[in-house]
């Protein structure tokens, strides 16, 4: 079994200055595309499941697919709950065999976020499961959080939060946001704040959500084949590379995989209008996920060869 918890992966990432990519899965093709890429590059990887993905595929399907992959895949990978909104979904994923969960109390008042996180930590740690928590708020939409403006993570609060909640890793807000439209003007991340957070939380793996780059060439392929994705902008790769060598050990990417799948499927369907075997365009989507993830591992995360 190569399904594992993140502890040793993050310890290595901190020591050697790389980040582990956390990619969202929704179906068989994304699971296979991501894991094939990680094997190609001999990289550790995190497969993450949102509440929406679990609802879409059905509670058992995604983790059963991951279990099936585990028998074949020769690199360590983590199965993680993304943006768990309450205790019950965290418990349900822990009971199902996830090796890591995120409890996202970032929308709650400070003391309530601590209390909720603490409750999940107690249940998870008794079962050997890792807990990511979040402090600060990303701009844009999160599954459990809708905020028009981001609230960057405060270092004093972060130190108190980790000590009192007992969480294992902390998602921080330093300027990224979810989705395909991240920056209206210049893309800026608050690296000074990141440095202070890293100093105040020695040895604690930090997590960067909202880290898609929204590659303009992929958006152009979508739009050239009938799509209408407007105003799309992401986090420039140079900024992500800088984050990956810091205390950021986990970098979350979903939007770029959505764009990759959509670009590939739209291309097949418009350029080969006679095709109606779904395996042909789903395979193109899977291959597109694979090459996007290989690119991230090699050129952004620095995790190639670290498995
Ligand atoms: O941060 C959220 C992820 O992109 C998951 O999105 O809730 O639409 O599955 P979703
Ligand atoms: P993106 O929307 O930038 O891909 O962020 C994904 C994410 O943070 C999932 O938790
Ligand atoms: Zn997120």
Query: pLDDT-derived band of residue 262, with 50, 70 and 90 as boundaries?
Result: very high
Predicted confidence (pLDDT) per residue in 190-204, tens digit: 999 999 999 999 999
Average pLDDT over residues 130-140: 92
How many C-beta atoms lie closer than 10 Å to residue 157's C-beta?
14
Cβ of 171 closer than 6 Å to ligand 2, yes or no, is: no
Cβ of 104 closer than 6 Å to ligand 1, yes or no, is: no
β-bridge partners, 181: 233
Query: Of 82, 104, 168, 256, which residue is the catalytic one?
Result: 82
| Rounded percentage of the chain residues whose pLDDT exceeds 70 | 96
To the query of whether residue 254 is one of the catalytic residues in this protein, the response is no
Q: How far is Cα 140 from Cα 149, in angstroms, rounded to an integer?
A: 7
Give the pair of three-digit tokens for residue 14: 């901190």
- Statement: residue 233 has pLDDT above 50: yes
- The whole model's pTM is what? 0.96
Give the pair of three-digit tokens for residue 178: 């979810």
- Statement: residue 17 has pLDDT above 50: yes
Pairing of strands 140-141, 146-147: antiparallel
- Of 66, 68, 19, 24, nearest to 44 by C-alpha is 19
Find the 52 Cα to ligand 1 centroid distance in Å.
Answer: 7
Query: pLDDT-derived band of residue 139, with 50, 70 and 90 as boundaries?
Result: confident
């Amino acid at each position: 079994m190569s399904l594992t918890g993140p502890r040793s992966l993050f310890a290595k990432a901190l020591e050697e200055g790389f980040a582990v990519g956390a990619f969202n899965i929704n179906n068989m093709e994304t699971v296979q595309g991501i894991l094939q890429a990680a094997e190609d590059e001999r990289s550790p990887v995190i497969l993450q499941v949102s509440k929406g993905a679990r609802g879409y595929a059905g509670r058992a399907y995604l983790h059963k697919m991951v279990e099936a992959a585990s028998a074949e895949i020769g690199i360590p990978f983590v199965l993680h709950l993304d943006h768990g909104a309450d205790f019950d979904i965290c418990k349900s994923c822990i009971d199902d065999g996830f090796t890591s969960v995120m409890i996202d109390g970032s929308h709650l008042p400070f003391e309530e976020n601590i209390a909720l996180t603490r409750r999940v930590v107690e249940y998870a740690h008794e079962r050997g499961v890792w807990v990511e928590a979040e402090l600060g708020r990303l701009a844009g939409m999160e599954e459990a959080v809708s905020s028009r403006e981001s609230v960057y993570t405060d270092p004093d609060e972060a130190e108190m939060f980790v000590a009192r909640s007992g969480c294992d890793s902390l998602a921080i807000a330093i300027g990224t946001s979810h989705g395909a439209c991240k920056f209206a003007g210049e893309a800026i991340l608050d690296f000074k704040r990141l440095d202070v957070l890293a100093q105040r939380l020695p040895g604690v793996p930090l997590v960067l959500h909202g880290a898609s780059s929204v590659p303009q060439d992929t958006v152009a392929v979508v739009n050239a084949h009938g799509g209408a994705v407007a105003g799309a902008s992401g986090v420039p790769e140079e900024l992500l590379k800088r984050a990956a060598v810091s205390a950021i050990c986990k970098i979350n990417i979903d939007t770029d995989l959505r764009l990759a799948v959509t670009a590939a499927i739209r291309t097949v369907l418009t350029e080969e209008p006679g095709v109606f075997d779904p395996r042909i365009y789903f395979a193109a989507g899977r291959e597109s996920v694979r090459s996007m993830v290989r690119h991230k591992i090699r050129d952004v995360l620095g995790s190639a060869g670290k498995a």
